[in-house]
Structure 1
Amino acid sequence: MCDMGGLDNLVANTAYLKAQGGDDKEMRKRRRSLSLPKPEQCAALRTSLEKEYESLCEKQPIGKKLFRQFLASNPEYTTANDFLDELHEWDLAEGAAKDKARQNIINKFCKADSKTFLSFLTGEAADKCKAVTDKDFQEVMMGKVKEGTVEFLKGKPFQEYMNSPFFDKFLQWKEYEKQPITEKYFYEFRTLGKGGFGEVCAVQVKNTGQMYACKKLDKKRLKKKHGEKMAMLEKKILEKVNSLFIVNLAYAYDTKTHLCLCMSLMNGGDLKQQWDPGTHQSKIDCKDSDLKGETAGTGAYMAPEILKDIPYRTSVDWWALGCSIYEMVAAYTPFKGPDAKKEKVAKEEVQRRICEEEVKYEHKNFDASTKDIINLFLKKKIEDRLGCKDDDPRKHEWFKSINFARLEAGVIEPPWVPKPNVVYAKDTGDIAEFSDIRGVELDAKDDKFFKEFSTGAVPIAWQQEMIESGLFDDLNDPNRKESAAGLDDEKKSGTCTLL
């Protein structure tokens, strides 16, 4: 007898993996129908857009790219830009390469007779630049000289940029960024998992081929469980964050039945699937979180101040990191213990242990350094906890093998990379379906909330997608020929789309 469940899973996986491989032929056809808004359509945006240097020229990928193209038109501006780039490369370099980069910067930018001397610097920054030595290089160049260079670019170059065709082009992209986002913007593929309010599925942007994980929140389920405030908070936090180390939000939109958050697709699946319990110790970089004002989180990782209703900020994140490090070594959390999988530990008992008991190290793989950092992260009092005393946890011995500058720049080779022909998710048949919600009706107040939630593309993630997919170069090509006819919305590629 044919295993229909297994066949459905195979078809879903095949379509999903094929989508990740891309379909360049269809993509080219679709892109020929695309075009940026005309410059005259951007007049209102030109007036309303906040003219802030960091946002326009550093944080937003397309803005940064176009600003750099503008700088290339002036030798002095190019020198300033090249200096900042080379200083960044020096900061990431190691060993002999770092020494060579330092000497090159001194000879190229700090010698008065050099063609690329930083002649735009004035006052103390100029004096320190001319007198810099190997010994004080980091203090001088990463301090006053870097600051002076950035201040220079914020002045005349920035003002000229905003009156240039490059800024006009940026406004066209910003207007394009505001396009309405609906479910028709994506192809939808297999279910990857489920959350409290709906499933998580893989989706693909039709015009770029970019894959995302789409978290779908059932509107009626959300209303029944009074989860609107939590959903909006999650969305607002995610759209403000841009990091290599957590999922980033790219789109927020709604369908007739769901609110949708499209986030980074982690092809490797759940972290717990990728370590060998009890033998592998992972090193994690932890970012500060936002202010908390209520009880939230997973019980086994909650800090004492949460349970005692004490106001808190990032202290709870350092506590949770300590719990996570412990779990990666022992394969169980510190306040549930090794027998938790055999016999469930009551919620109240876990909370009592968190508030009253010290951590026990029964597993053989805890070394001295690991025990020490866990103990410091799991201090009951906030003022005693690592990360809460104006200290830097990254300086602890446990992190000594990590170059954080290189890690944050994304240049360290990962120890494990997902295989391109493997789907790291449960079989579709093993992911339980949600039951229908009855007795809940949506009204005008709900519609207002859904509209506030559905803000479309998130600027940094969307702009990065435009650049990485090549669409930025395609639509900026002055020799590009556009086609008035696009692809039929219902036309599909060779991939199988499962709805």
Structure 2
Amino acid sequence: MLKLPPVSQCSELRHSIEKDYSSLCDKQPIGRLLFREFCDTQHDLKGCIEFLDAVAEYEVAADEDRRNCGLQILDMFFGAESAVHLPEIPSCVLRECRLRLKQNPGKDDFEECTRIIHNYLSGEPFGEYQESPYFSRFLQWKWLERQPVTKNTFRHYRVLGKGGFGEGDDPCFPGWLQAAEECSCSAESAESGSLASSPFSFFDLAIPLRRICLKLTVCACQVRATGKMYACKKLEKKRIKKRKGEAMALNEKRILEKVHSRFVVSLSYAYETKDSLCLVLTIMNGGDLKFHIHNLGNPGFDEQRAIFYAAELCCGLEDLQRERIVYRRNGAAWTTAYLFTTRFTKYLKPTVETYCSEKKIPFEILPLVDIVPGHPRALMTSGKISVVFMPANATSILQPTEQGVILTLKSYLRDTLRKAVLFKRHTIDGDSCARSG
């Protein structure tokens, strides 16, 4: 059974914990819930929470409904007959917000208003919250959270999947992350303007660049005390050490614990056993994507469903970038046979047919295709389309970019970036010395 400690046992934690409003009352789920319960006990603070909830609903509203949703928020909370008490927001901010809603509504229209609300809540209300029983309950949870987590904390169930983690270099610039990492500056120097010309100075970059493949196993697990289900991702220590992937495994833990997004899985626990490093993540009940594509109804997704999934991926990437994290795609991934066939028959063929019809020439296609699993041999019998599969290892002969050009270009860009950043740094240091002299 889950048992919270006595409040007196958390007195040391009360003095040592960092009193940061954003972390304690917004980013941490338990702290966010308890702070909202505290605000519900006070009429003026309850209105602030209701406004923030309304803005959150506005940000995920459909494009066609966003304008009406935004105007309703303004009328409800800032209208002449509004019964909700909110901190004083300058009239110029409200006018600009209303103007943007009428012209081109976007999800950031209420950004300034929410900033003012959070600034207000982080002042005297946050101080009162720290003296309330709700904060004491939060400290009890934090004390429990800091207790050691081991494999005995969970019940482990069947394997959900296996795979590889961290395969391949970036297909375009394998050294640019390393160059940016070597020349990156602190957040303070970035804000003050040093290295402002570098596009990497505002990102937390710590991604190893070696060609590494860390085999992993994902299994379902359940917390014994609460019964909640998670997905446990296990990385073998021997393979990590052999492949020198310690930094990559640590990076994944750091990134997952930093991200707070409804479109990215969250890290709930992390522990180690004798043989493995274990990351306990949000479990996704939807199942395997490949199963949905190939085994439920007709193969593939309809267009609207695919657009919806793509939009969710874009939202997740935006949240990663907001936390100063650069996402790098998997350059070793191949297209599937179904996707290639669909693109070939539904897009390439109609496009060529239209072109041939406009130019009044016979419709004939003779594509040269690599021999890979994603290029099915069944395409060879497609009517007026003759598909010729190239011999193995022929790509490097036909494509000059595979004959050392890409490697030379990468080396040139990496060296150029380093020289530019170092030159900028020396220039700034020289100006600083001149001003001090």
TM-score range, shorter chain: 0.5 to 0.7
User: C-alpha displacement at 1:247, in angstroms?
Assistant: 3.5
User: C-alpha displacement at 1:259, in angstroms?
Assistant: 2.1
- Give the stretch that moved more between structures: 137-146 or 226-235: 137-146
- Write the distance in 2 (CA, Å) between the matches of 1:350 and 1:88: 51
Contact 1:202 1:214 in 2 (8 A): yes
- Write the distance in 2 (CA, Å) between the matches of 1:155 and 1:224: 51
Partner residue of 1:263 out of 262, 281, 284: 281
Matches within 5 A, 1:291-440: 314=326, 316-317=328-329, 329-330=339-340, 339-341=371-373, 349=395, 355=401
Contact 1:45 1:175 in 2 (8 A): yes
Q: 1:194 to 1:82 in 2, by over 3 A?
A: closer
- The equivalent of 2:235 in structure 1 is 217
User: C-alpha displacement at 1:123, in angstroms?
Assistant: 4.0
User: C-alpha displacement at 1:66, in angstroms?
Assistant: 0.9
Given the two structures, how large is their TM-score scaled by the length of structure 1?
0.50
Q: 1:75 to 1:126 in 2, by over 3 A?
A: farther
Q: 1:269 to 1:123 in 2, by over 3 A?
A: closer
Are 2:20 and 1:52 equivalent residues in the alignment? yes
Are 2:77 and 1:109 equivalent residues in the alignment? yes
User: C-alpha displacement at 1:181, in angstroms?
Assistant: 0.9
Contact 1:327 1:333 in 2 (8 A): no
User: C-alpha displacement at 1:137, in angstroms?
Assistant: 9.7
Are 2:82 and 1:82 equivalent residues in the alignment? no
Partner residue of 1:254 out of 260, 272, 287: 272
| SS at 1:256 equivalent | coil
Q: 1:269 to 1:85 in 2, by over 3 A?
A: closer
User: C-alpha displacement at 1:175, in angstroms?
Assistant: 1.0
Contact 1:185 1:206 in 2 (8 A): yes
Contact 1:218 1:258 in 2 (8 A): yes
Q: 1:90 to 1:247 in 2, by over 3 A?
A: closer
- Write the distance in 2 (CA, Å) between the matches of 1:200 and 1:184: 17
User: C-alpha displacement at 1:63, in angstroms?
Assistant: 0.9
Matches within 5 A, 1:109-258: 109-118=77-86, 120-124=87-91, 128=95, 135=102, 142-195=110-163, 196-197=214-215, 199-258=217-276
Q: Which sections of structure 1, spanning at least 5 residues, go unmatched? A: 1-30, 292-312, 358-379, 382-499
Q: Which amino acid aligns with 2:371?
A: D
- Give the stretch that moved more between structures: 342-351 or 271-280: 342-351
Contact 2:67 2:105 in 1 (8 A): no
Partner residue of 1:67 out of 8, 26, 35: 35
- The equivalent of 2:173 in structure 1 is none
Given the two structures, how large is their TM-score scaled by the length of structure 2?
0.56
- Write the distance in 2 (CA, Å) between the matches of 1:354 and 1:148: 57
RCO higher in structure (CA 8 A, sep ≥6): 1
- Write the distance in 2 (CA, Å) between the matches of 1:351 and 1:288: 39
Q: CA RMSD in A?
A: 4.4
Contact 1:198 1:216 in 2 (8 A): yes
Q: Which amino acid aligns with 1:340?
A: V
Q: Which sections of structure 2, spanning at least 5 residues, go unmatched? A: 164-213, 345-367, 378-388, 404-408, 411-437
Contact 1:289 1:314 in 2 (8 A): no
- Higher Rg of the two aligned structures: 2
Contact 2:34 2:135 in 1 (8 A): yes
Q: 1:54 to 1:187 in 2, by over 3 A?
A: same
Quote the sequence identity (%).
37
Contact 1:128 1:145 in 2 (8 A): no
Q: Deviations over 1:26-79 (max 9, x none)?
A: xxxxx3xx3212222222222222222211111111111111111122221112
- Write the distance in 1 (CA, Å) between the matches of 2:341 and 2:27: 39
- The equivalent of 1:39 in structure 2 is 7
Aligned residue pairs total 302
